[in-house]
Structure 1
Amino acid sequence: MLEIRALVERVGPTLLRAVIVPDPTVCVGDVVIAEPDQPPTAAGGDLVLGVAVTGREKAVELTRVCGTQGAAAVLLKPPIAADDAVATAAERAGVALVEVRPGTAWAQLVWLIRAALAGTGIEEDTRSSGVGDLFRLADAVADVVDAPVTIEDAHSQVLAYSARQDLTDSARVSTIMGRKQPDDVLAKFRARGTFRQISKGSSAIFVPAQQDGTLPRLVVPIRMGGELLGSMWAVVPGEVSEERSTAFADTAPLVALQLLRWRAVADAERRRSAEQVRVLLEGGEGWRAAANELAVPSETHRVVAIEMPSSAGPAEGHRLAMWEWITRGIGRRPLVTEIGTMLYALVPDRARTGGWPDLRQALISHDVSPRPLIAVGTAVAVAELPQSRSQAEELISLLRTGQLQDRVAVYEDNWHLLVLSRMAGAATDAGIGTLGPVPMLREHDRMQGTEYLATLHAWLRHPGDPRQASRELRVHPNTFRYRMKRLAQHVDIDLEDPDVRSALLVQLLADRWAQHG
């Protein structure tokens, strides 16, 4: 977690200046952009960017509302950031006021703040991970093609973009602000066959203007050794000369080298992150240091456990694909690790962007075959993550044996099955299966091929409702009634006694649990 002053220092005094900080111990969680003429939807610890706020009254109202929502800070540009009335309002609301230096691009500021919150320092980015180099490279490529440029990976995630903004449209703005091309923008380019051309070619692709106001694009695939690493997108006013188009395409090999370097460092950072997540899941003395290194927000989190079926083929490749899917699903760097054959993800239990509802929707909509087993523990404090992990693993065991069929199994939604499975497990250990008429029925089923145990279990689950019981067994109601009549002839059971019914149900559950276990 980063405190406000630490975040300002990490992003750098050339971009930010702390004006008012009522509580320097408040930590920052995420970045929220205040939409024009709409109240912000901030949560505890959020930084709220007043992108369209220029007047005193709107700035005062923004700080007041942010205070009621528990936001950590409001970021404004001068001169409004230095206004005494705004500073007073921020102090009364208990919200930090941070000035964004003139000339700072809001989109790049969002990028830098999120990089800092993700635990990657800006100076470290520039020196080691190659992100800073990618931004400089984007500027150089923009000079070559004489147009604003974005560099994107193979999943349309924005890695860097040029500083020049002289030619832009809403699609470019939303792409930079969201760090990826929005779904509706992607759909339009797919409909025009742009991505099909990217996947096959290596030369520059011209995409004409669209009726919705999207400006023309010049797109170049980025390849190395036949692998598609990403693409570069330039916003152009119209047709581009062949010489300039060729020059744009000629920059692709240089960008490919930088992307490979960036990916290698990103993989190393991901491995380091995975090690720290593993520490959090296993608990012990090092959890606090791991949480600080990962900048884990001080809010409740859930542990998601994912297991690929053995029929899915090589587990490593499938878990990696799921890892990348989770990254795209929640819109920010996930906290993920592998332990044994299981993939684990930590997700904040919050309703806003990047929280558990977003990931749940992404997991439910991730339609693959064979389907992975996905289980989720309850929301706990960071120090109690091993508990949420154990809960998720308990659900995975039920999914693995087929006793639970949910696409995404959530711990608190399946408490009744957990009660039954634990009770049956304890009963099995106590040897209750040798008592009463159940052993006789079990032996009869084994020797004669009957299904008396299954029939009795269905009757106990649906007493007085032979139609529902027969439907569960997939037999005719008359067949079910005949089986129950024959069963009563083989053993003496007083099914009118509620204690007898309870004892039989426990025995049958234990019997089934032993078979699945």
Structure 2
Amino acid sequence: MDACTLGDLLDVIGGPSVRLHTAPAGLTVPVTEALLYDAHAPLPRVPGALLLAVGVRASAAGPLARAAAEAGMSGLVVRGPDGPLAEAESAGVALLSVDEDAAWHHVHLLLASAIGARPSAAASGLGDLFALADAVAASVGGATAVEDPRQRILAYSTVPGQPVDEDRRQGILGLQVPTSPENSEQYRVLFAAPGPVRLPALRGGHLPRLAVAVRAGGETLGSLWVVDDGSLAPDAEEALAQGASTAALLLLRARAAQELARHQNGDLLRRLLDGTADPAGAAHRLGFGLGPDGNPAPVRVAAFVLDSAVSAADVEQTALRLLDLVRLQCEARYGRHACVLTDGVVYALLPALGELGGAREPQGRAGVERPSARRPEGVSTVGRSTPAGAPRRRTNRHSHKRLAEDIVGRAGQSLRVPVRAGLGDVVAGLAEVRASRDDADLVLRVLGPELPVASVAEVRPRVTLLRLTEVLGERRELSTGAWRTVLSYDAEHGTEYARTLVSWLDAGCDMAGAARLLAVHPNTCRYRLKQAQQQLGIDLDDPDERLVLWLQLRTLAGLRAD
């Protein structure tokens, strides 16, 4: 299991419970365990431990920080805010604090649980699935693959000398079983059978299969497939059934680890969106490190929200279903991402390499850790999956927009509720995620049935006017002026000076264009403008006054020529 780091620990319990004051060695320093200090016993040498300063006042814990460093520990935890900051920095150990009234045994339990809960590739069971595939292949006598219920290949055997066919090669190259009506029928037969089944070759030149469904209780978790070249072991079916039992345990463990990782990543993304998470630690945890140029990898926030027509009784459950849909689509497209539901909005953090500086974007497939050194014999490097070290596909300017449109379309079909999606600007690293989130939120506010998906660049004028409306309305000196006089005069005398002024300004001060917008004769438009200047004291020859009047009428009064 990969070592838990200080950043991982803070992702799980950072905030009100445990506060970080300094980390001289960075957030990637390993944390191995939480150790209670005993003043009556020698301090043991436990590399990577966090030492809990039991019985020591925070202000007097300087010597303990130095002792922890000498013992190879990663950090010191004190109660209260007055910890030995300078001593910890000098000694090179992290300093953390908890509330003054926190019970040490509760703190110890909290830290120990968080350190032990950190998911990793090994803990996910996916690495063990490769070992299982090899073990089953050796026992049964044929090349083996482990699949999930959606026919994605999670692991495959690499035992030398075992025959394979083209379906096997193509499936491993794409980590997805090729689709066909014949394949669908075989899966129907497989999942209806109580045990292993023998399935014929789908076409000439291909080999039959021995397969079994992997189940836990009444739930189907996936399947095991063995290429049958006619030389399988006599007890192949029994051995495959035993392998399915082991696979069920590993898949359940993988699911639990993935759910934990999703929860932790979602909580971390929530704090990134609020601007309260450490970007460096978050980048390490979420896998958004440095780009090829050595700078922070660019990212973008996408926001999805249900149409306001959803009833209050259904909105919470429907929003959770939307979260699942967004997460699934992002996993299938990028692999590396984070999604969270907060305040009724589903936010997704998307990699944007290739959109800033022409960098390249790594690809991944959700839930699959594919060791680059493991490639079965006879499988070429040409296919849908990009081999390690090869150039990755470039992200074009519209890939995120297409993803959002696809999610909105799927959501409309499966949830039977209209969904809107806004894309913030691409930003240079996780330190600027909040700005991209603010962009996405603004975009959501200007979308409607006629435009359900847009990036902030596509609706920049709309969001700019929206923000101007808010700013102008909040400041008295910006919300007063001639526009109020015009509206009052119209209300009192039944004139249409305000609408005429907006139409003329919208038309670029072209009298004929304004008349067309108003559906009146140009002379009527000209007369109205002349009267407005004379009776209300408006100087339309002054470009500054024209600009301010137009902005106030458009934003504060909400008037448009159309």
- TM-score (structure 1 length as normaliser): 0.58
Q: 1:256 aligns with which of 248, 264, 270?
A: 248
Greater relative CO, 1 or 2 (CA 8 Å, sep 6+): 2
Q: Is the 8 A contact 1:375 1:410 kept in 2?
A: yes
Cα–Cα, structure 1 residues 192 and 266, in superposed 2: closer, same or farther, change >3 Å? closer
Secondary structure of 2:556's aligned partner: helix
Cα–Cα, structure 1 residues 276 and 178, in superposed 2: closer, same or farther, change >3 Å? farther
2:464 matched to 1:419? yes
Question: Relative to structure 2, which stretch is displaced further, 347-356 or 262-271?
Answer: 347-356
Q: Compute the displacement of 1:225 (Å).
A: 4.3
2:344 matched to 1:334? no
Cα–Cα, structure 1 residues 338 and 238, in superposed 2: closer, same or farther, change >3 Å? farther
Distance 1:445 1:510 in 2: 19
Distance 1:180 1:233 in 2: 13
2:391 matched to 1:399? no
Q: Deviations over 1:266-313 (max 9, x none)?
A: 211232333444455455684323333444321332231323215384
Q: Is the 8 A contact 2:270 2:340 kept in 1?
A: yes
Q: Is the 8 A contact 1:338 1:344 kept in 2?
A: no
Q: Is the 8 A contact 1:466 1:480 kept in 2?
A: no
Alignment partner, residue 306 of structure 1:
303
Q: Compute the displacement of 1:458 (Å).
A: 5.3
Q: Compute the displacement of 1:152 (Å).
A: 2.0
AA of the residue aligned to 2:445 = R
Cα–Cα, structure 1 residues 376 and 453, in superposed 2: closer, same or farther, change >3 Å? same
Cα–Cα, structure 1 residues 257 and 500, in superposed 2: closer, same or farther, change >3 Å? same
Q: 2:262 aligns with which of 259, 262, 270?
A: 270
Secondary structure of 2:447's aligned partner: coil
AA of the residue aligned to 1:398 = V
Q: 2:172 aligns with which of 170, 176, 190?
A: 176
Q: Is the 8 A contact 2:300 2:350 kept in 1?
A: yes
Alignment partner, residue 347 of structure 1:
351
Q: Deviations over 1:37-88 (max 9, x none)?
A: xxxxxxxxxxxxxxxxxxxxxxxxxxxxxxxxxxxxxxxxxxxxxxxxxxxx
Distance 2:506 2:540 in 1: 14
2:146 matched to 1:151? yes
Q: Is the 8 A contact 2:502 2:559 kept in 1?
A: no
Mapping for residues 94-113 of structure 1, pairs under 5 Å: none
Distance 2:159 2:332 in 1: 27
Alignment partner, residue 13 of structure 2:
none
Q: Compute the displacement of 1:179 (Å).
A: 3.6
2:540 matched to 1:492? no
| Structure 1: gaps spanning 5 or more residues | 3-122, 471-476
Distance 1:216 1:149 in 2: 12
Alignment partner, residue 378 of structure 1:
426
2:277 matched to 1:236? no
Distance 1:144 1:451 in 2: 88
Cα–Cα, structure 1 residues 500 and 161, in superposed 2: closer, same or farther, change >3 Å? same
Q: Compute the displacement of 1:492 (Å).
A: 1.8
Question: Relative to structure 2, which stretch is displaced further, 483-492 or 258-267?
Answer: 483-492
Higher normalized helix content (fraction of residues): 1
Question: Relative to structure 2, which stretch is displaced further, 389-398 or 242-251?
Answer: 242-251
Alignment partner, residue 506 of structure 1:
551
Q: Deviations over 1:142-197 (max 9, x none)?
A: 3565422221223333322223362223443343344444xxx23x3577545565
Could you say which structure has the larger radius of gyration?
2
The aligned length equals 381
Alignment partner, residue 481 of structure 2:
435
Distance 2:512 2:352 in 1: 45
2:405 matched to 1:364? yes
Q: Deviations over 1:195-228 (max 9, x none)?
A: 56567666647363346x6654455443434434
Q: Is the 8 A contact 2:141 2:233 kept in 1?
A: no
AA of the residue aligned to 2:532 = D
Secondary structure of 1:304's aligned partner: strand
Mapping for residues 57-72 of structure 1, pairs under 5 Å: none
Cα–Cα, structure 1 residues 163 and 404, in superposed 2: closer, same or farther, change >3 Å? same
Secondary structure of 2:519's aligned partner: helix
| Structure 2: gaps spanning 5 or more residues | 3-118, 292-296, 355-359, 364-393, 413-417
Q: Identity across aligned pairs (percent)?
A: 24
Cα–Cα, structure 1 residues 508 and 173, in superposed 2: closer, same or farther, change >3 Å? farther
Distance 2:402 2:184 in 1: 28
Aligned Cα root-mean-square deviation (Å): 4.9
Distance 1:500 1:301 in 2: 41
Q: 1:163 aligns with which of 155, 158, 165?
A: 158
Distance 2:427 2:125 in 1: 36
